[in-house]
Amino acid sequence: MDVKGHDPPMNPFTPSTLASLAHTHGTPLWVYDTATIERQIANLRQFDVIRFAQKANSNTHILKLMKRLGVMVDSVSLGEIERALAAGFTPGVHQGHAEIVFTADLLDRATLARVAELGVPVNCGSIDMLDQLGAVSPGHPVWLRINPGFGHGHSNKTNTGGEHSKHGIWHADLPLACERVRANGLTLMGIHMHIGSGVDYAHLQEVCGAMVKLVETVQAQGMDLAAISAGGGLSIPYQADAPTIDTAHYFSLWDAARTQIATLLGHPVTLEIEPGRYLVAESGVLVAEVRATKQMGRNPFVMVDAGFSDLMRPSMYGAFHGMEIIHADGTPATGTPQDTVVGGPLCESGDVFTQGEGGVVLQRALPPAQVGDLLVLHDTGAYGASMSSNYNTRPLIPEVLVEDGQPRLIRRRQTVAELLALEAV
Ligand code: LLP
């Protein structure tokens, strides 16, 4: 069996902090670090607008932190819009800026009514959306999300460009989209591209060049715009030897595109970036308790009380998360690492945290673990809690945010009674 991955990268917490939090709140448990989020935001300050793709972590306390740090937000559902409002973001457009933008490929009826009521700009991923918005909300502010015909992702499931992707308005349809914007009396704010999670740095110039061409097309239609968005997709080093992003270089390429566009249009243009993972992934860990160990033929298994109902990324994408074992007393496990398979509690074979794409079970070199030890899964602040489910009728688990050494419970554990209550009809 293959062993995948290398030494786990650092996590923001000491073993004793995590053991103490596990003792207080029980396991499984999410823990996030404020300082890491602040550091990641600081790395992107050159962009005019940092717009957090809240799908990565939509806890209202994380959103409040973003708001406090001057970060705006991208919502992709009615629920996410309500979360943004609950966190204190203001709807509508003020001095050319919108704190909340709604990005989607379709508008369900309830969301259409709500964005129209609130005046939340809609980043339209289909031409039908333009017609539907125009019918109920004349003058509504819109972005056009364009699929440039190519994309890139850390997995096929996170590639959002090209002709196999459902996302965005096809680039060749941009003139038609402009015509529908005009015919519906909508207000064009900007052009947006998000071609996938896991930016392909080798082809970045091509991506920026595509944006310039798109704006040329808009201009050829006799229209103007005030902003462009580079989308998200910036990765983080999930593995020790993964390349880290040179954000200054990344900015400089987009800034050059923006300068070209500003020259073209004859006025300044706002440059937005829309990261999810980059801002929050490294801030978070998932803490689980080892509840069983067993040998299955040649494979030592460590069974923990968190499953893919909590952290779906390994099962969904074969994603790698660094792991460490700590003892319940807060000391790190130090035994000689052995190749181990880590499984969860769900009644499903794919509930394994050590696996590659396509569901192939892998091993991970971990110090020997005993029942009662804690397993810490690193870099789970993005697409962890936000992708959790109630599969196997497992309640959602608590979230703790640590700021200046002070832990704060930002979501309590759900109860089975709450799940059953939904069915008391
Ligand atoms: N903007 C748009 C329009 C998006 O669709 C996404 C992600 C982002 C920004 C943020 O992408 P990021 O910077 O986080 O890569 N669940 C997957 C990721 C799916 C992302 C979908 N869209 C994962 O766990 O890797």
Q: Where are the domains of the chain?
A: 15-30+281-421, 45-274
Rounded-to-integer distance, Cα 167 and Cα 179, Å: 20
Determine the atom of ligand 1 nearest the C-alpha atom of 197.
Answer: 15
Query: Comparing C-alpha atoms, which of 258, 173, 161 is closest to residue 215?
Result: 258
Q: Give residue-wise pLDDT tens across range 164-210.
A: 989 999 999 999 999 999 999 999 999 999 988 887 777 888 899 99
| C-alpha dihedral sign at 146, 152, 154, 157 | positive
Going by DSSP bridges, is the β-strand pair 93-94/72-75 parallel, antiparallel, or unpaired?
A: unpaired
Rounded-to-integer distance, Cα 351 and Cα 213, Å: 45
Question: Is-above-0.90 flag for pTM?
Answer: yes
Distance between Cα 199 and ligand 1 center (Å): 11
Q: What is the model's pLDDT at position 155?
A: 80
- Give yes or no for residue 318 having a pLDDT over 50: yes
Mutate to test the pocket of ligand 1, among 126, 154, 194, 228 (most ligand atoms within 8 A of CB): 194
Q: Which CATH number fits domain 45-274: 3.40.50.300, 2.60.40.3080, 3.20.20.10, 3.30.750.24?
A: 3.20.20.10
Determine the atom of ligand 1 nearest the C-alpha atom of 123.
Answer: 3
Place of tokens 């069915």: 423
Q: What is the model's pLDDT at position 2?
A: 47
Q: What is the model's pLDDT at position 158?
A: 84
Is 347 among the residues known to form the active site?
A: yes
Nearest CA to ligand 1 atom 23: 383
Determine the atom of ligand 1 nearest the C-alpha atom of 277.
Answer: 14
At 196, which amino acid appears? G
Distance between Cα 123 and ligand 1 center (Å): 15
**Apex 73 CA angle, 72 and 78, nearest 5:** 150
Q: Give residue-wise pLDDT tens across range 73-93.
A: 999 999 999 999 999 999 999
- Give yes or no for residue 234 having a pLDDT over 70: yes
Residues of the binding site? 233, 274-277, 313, 317, 348, 383
> Same fold for the domain at 15-30+281-421 and the one at 45-274?
no
Nearest CA to ligand 1 atom 16: 383
Is 366 within 8 Å of 323 (Cβ atoms)?
yes
Q: What is the mean pLDDT of residues 252-281?
A: 98
Q: What is the model's pLDDT at position 161?
A: 86
Q: How far is CA 408 from CA 16, 30, 116, 405, in A?
A: 16, 12, 36, 10
Pocket around ligand 1 at a 6 A CB cut-off: 53, 56, 74, 103, 158, 160, 194, 197, 231-234, 274-278, 313, 317, 382-383, 387
Q: What is the model's pLDDT at position 266?
A: 98
- Give yes or no for residue 6 having a pLDDT over 80: no
Rounded-to-integer distance, Cα 253 and Cα 201, Å: 10
Rounded-to-integer distance, Cα 115 and Cα 84, Å: 13
Q: What is the mean pLDDT of residues 376-386?
A: 98
**CB proximity list for 44: less than 8 A, separation 6 or greater:** 50, 247, 251, 273, 275, 278, 279
Distance between Cα 198 and ligand 1 center (Å): 9
What's the length of the chain?
Answer: 425
Distance between Cα 197 and ligand 1 center (Å): 5
**Band of residue 228 on the pLDDT scale cut at 50, 70, 90:** very high
User: What would the CATH number be for the domain defined by 15-30+281-421?
Assistant: 2.40.37.10
Query: Comparing C-alpha atoms, which of 79, 77, 50 is closest to residue 65?
Result: 50
Is 277 within 8 Å of 367 (Cβ atoms)?
no
Determine the atom of ligand 1 nearest the C-alpha atom of 383.
Answer: 24
Rounded-to-integer distance, Cα 61 and Cα 58, Å: 8
For the chain, what is the mean pLDDT? 95
Mutate to test the pocket of ligand 1, among 44, 51, 55 (most ligand atoms within 8 A of CB): 55
Considering the candidates 124, 178, 208, 347, report the single residue annotated as catalytic: 347
Is 25 within 8 Å of 411 (Cβ atoms)?
no
